[in-house]
Structure 1
Amino acid sequence: MSTNKTGSLADLAYWRASGGALTAKMGYERNGTNHWFANRNMNTVPLLYQDVTAISASCNAIIGKLYTTGGTTYTTPAIDPC
């Protein structure tokens, strides 16, 4: 998870090195609200899965998330864009 210095762009990346079938969606949390992208088939390994999105500029912390169809959510440490 990374962002530009004004917090107006979120770059989420997940490196899949191994494992079986996986369908998941990436997203982020800001101000206690989750924002999700569409489900993706992440069966190909090794591969970098990435989503970049424009978000409203803010110095509020952003947490990257990966939500699997199995119901597990993985989070990144919070980053402070400012």
Structure 2
Amino acid sequence: MKEIEMIAYFQKEGLPVPLRYRIANEEGELQVIGVDRVLWRKEDKRAGNLMLTYACQSEWGGIERRYELRYEAATFRWYLYKI
């Protein structure tokens, strides 16, 4: 799980919706990746902390990829979980 910088908006109900994120590649350069589509969202508790898991789809490097993002509500941090 890798921490990322995220730009998101919040719905009226208070749930965040990811828009795009920034992550360092192997050379240390920052890449901005837009979230093209959120496929599903689920809530669960990890060690008593609320975590929101998002299955997302984006195109980068000319390849369509599916991955999971996690939002930790207690610390307001986003993580890239699975690619």
TM-score > 0.5, shorter chain as reference? no
Structure with higher strand content: 2
Question: What is the TM-score with the length of structure 1 in the denominator?
Answer: 0.34
Question: What is the TM-score with the length of structure 2 in the denominator?
Answer: 0.34
